[in-house]
């Protein structure tokens, strides 16, 4: 059974992540927000530190590379005997939440911690996991005209001998310019619908692949967001992640399995950013003489204190849903419903809490003297990418009602 307490074995990891967020990310947060598209060189040293921790086992698989399929022998044994396992997925969401308490954009700029890395960790076979170990992978899903409907992908991958030829355009690719590999979602046969959509690992510099432009954005400005064009781009057939077989009975489930692991990570980002806003706002209110009493009903306190308590309660719900989705992945339990619930709740809460904190702090919240206004800008993307709020609610409704995508659109 899941415990709502932070696992003891992860507390050193969480503490280390918090120290990094406070001492390495926060001090340069404003600098790289203003210097959009400027690469944060400080992250190279941090990435080396994380690599060292991972190699020593101290990081317990945390970060985007840490998400897993829960298929190791220990997990099989524990779940079959009724035991529970706190593993890499839970470690990842806990550490990512702490890092985003520091800065979301910088976390998304971290070498070898791209969403493409979590896609590789989720669906690659053992040989691919070994071959792509140590790469920095962005993930290219969204296309012009497809929006959040990933099943309507128009990019194609045509088998030619022992290579796939990829053609199409991808937009809003996080770390699309800096990453050294891109995980591209493409269709093997558009007539077969969503079942034919597969993901391919494309090394940067592959002929036929080019970064067309970088986007200027509302938030997460430290992170580069690119449009990438693929024209007769050839990659080895072995770079198709998972099985090349098209199973029309399985439908889109194979590709969607990636989201079951990545959506809790995005939820964790929203949780971390929202908690940063709550922590700072609580301190600012205390400096203004507004004390929050957790032993008294909210209606018996000032309006500002009551509002903060309301936001903290909402945050707690998002946090617990995020832990649940990750814990279920660690324990080989289907978590598609819970992953979407966590993403929907955390994305909405992140935007509501950060904006609410700006309002409570008044002119301080709106100015650049503090990071509150930046966190409000950064958090909005977390309600959009990896599936918008509306898409998550649609997925949840389908799961709860037992309907297919064709039955409930």
Active site (catalytic) residues: 386
Identify which of 40, 84, 55, 108 has the alpha carbon closest to the alpha carbon of residue 266.
108
Structure tokens at 362: 């008044």
Give the DSSP H or E segment for 232.
strand 225-236
Beta bridge partners of 229: 169, 210
Please name which of 229, 203, 223, 323 lies closest in space to residue 272, comparing C-alpha atoms: 323
Helices (H), 247-297: 253-287
Residue that is written with structure tokens 């909402």 in the block = 314
* DSSP letter, residue 142: -
User: What number of residues does the chain have?
Assistant: 409
CA gap 88, 71 in Å, rounded: 12
- The helix or strand, by DSSP H or E, that contains position 163, with its residue range, turns out to be strand 163-174
Say how far apart CA 285 and CA 277 lie, in whole Å: 12
Please, are residues 377 and 297 in contact by the beta-carbon 8 Å criterion? no
Residues 359, 28: Cα–Cα separation, whole Å: 25
Residues forming beta bridges with residue 171, ordered by sequence position: none
Q: What residues have CB less than 8 Å from 52, skipping those under 6 apart?
A: none
Residues 43 and 111: beta-carbon distance below 8 Å: yes
**Residue 167 main-chain phi, psi, to 5 deg:** -135, 130
Contact present, 87 and 78 (Cβ < 8 Å): no
Cβ atoms within 10 Å, residue 336: 19
Phi, psi of 240 (to 5 degrees): -75, 125
Give me the residue label for tokens 């706002």. 281
Residue 47: Cβ within 10 Å count: 17
């Amino acid at each position: 059974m899941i415990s709502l307490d932070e696992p003891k074995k992860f507390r050193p990891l969480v503490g280390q992540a918090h120290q990094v967020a406070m001492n390495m990310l926060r001090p340069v947060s404003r600098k790289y927000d203003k210097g959009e598209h400027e690469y944060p060189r400080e992250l190279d040293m941090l990435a080396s530190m994380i690599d060292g921790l991972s190699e020593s086992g101290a990081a317990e698989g945390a970060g985007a590379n840490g998400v897993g399929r829960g298929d190791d022998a220990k997990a099989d044994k524990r779940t079959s005997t009724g035991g529970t396992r706190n593993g890499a997925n839970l470690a990842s969401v806990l550490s990512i939440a702490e890092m985003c308490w520091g800065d979301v954009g910088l976390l998304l700029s971290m070498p070898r911690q791209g969403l493409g890395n979590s896609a590789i960790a989720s669906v690659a076979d053992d040989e691919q996991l070994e071959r792509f170990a140590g790469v920095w992978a962005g993930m290219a899903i969204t296309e012009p005209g497809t929006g959040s409907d990933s099943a309507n992908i128009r990019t194609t991958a045509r088998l030619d001998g022992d290579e796939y030829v990829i053609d199409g355009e991808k937009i809003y690719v996080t770390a699309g310019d800096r990453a050294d590999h891109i995980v591209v979602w493409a269709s093997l046969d558009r007539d077969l619908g969503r079942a034919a959509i597969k993901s391919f690992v494309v090394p940067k510099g592959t002929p036929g692949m080019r970064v067309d432009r970088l986007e200027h954005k509302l938030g997460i400005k430290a992170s580069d967001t690119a449009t990438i064009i693929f024209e007769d781009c050839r990659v080895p057939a072995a770079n198709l992640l998972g099985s090349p077989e098209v199973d029309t009975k399985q439908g889109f489930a194979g590709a969607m399995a990636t989201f079951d692991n990545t959506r809790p990570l995005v939820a964790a980002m929203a949780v971390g950013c929202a908690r940063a806003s709550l922590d700072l706002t609580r301190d600012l209110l205390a400096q203004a003489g507004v004390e929050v009493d957790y032993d008294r009903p909210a209606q018996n306190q000032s309006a500002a204190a009551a509002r903060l308590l309301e936001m903290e309660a909402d945050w707690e719900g998002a946090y617990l849903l995020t832990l649940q989705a990750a814990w279920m992945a660690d324990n080989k339990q289907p978590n598609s419903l819970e992953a979407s619930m966590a993403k929907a709740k955390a994305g909405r809460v992140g935007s509501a809490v950060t904006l609410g904190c700006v309002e409570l702090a008044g002119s301080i919240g709106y100015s650049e003297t503090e990071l509150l206004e930046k966190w409000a800008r950064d958090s909005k993307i977390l309600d959009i990418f990896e599936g918008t709020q509306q898409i998550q609610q649609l997925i949840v409704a389908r799961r709860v009602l037992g309907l297919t995508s064709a039955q409930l659109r």
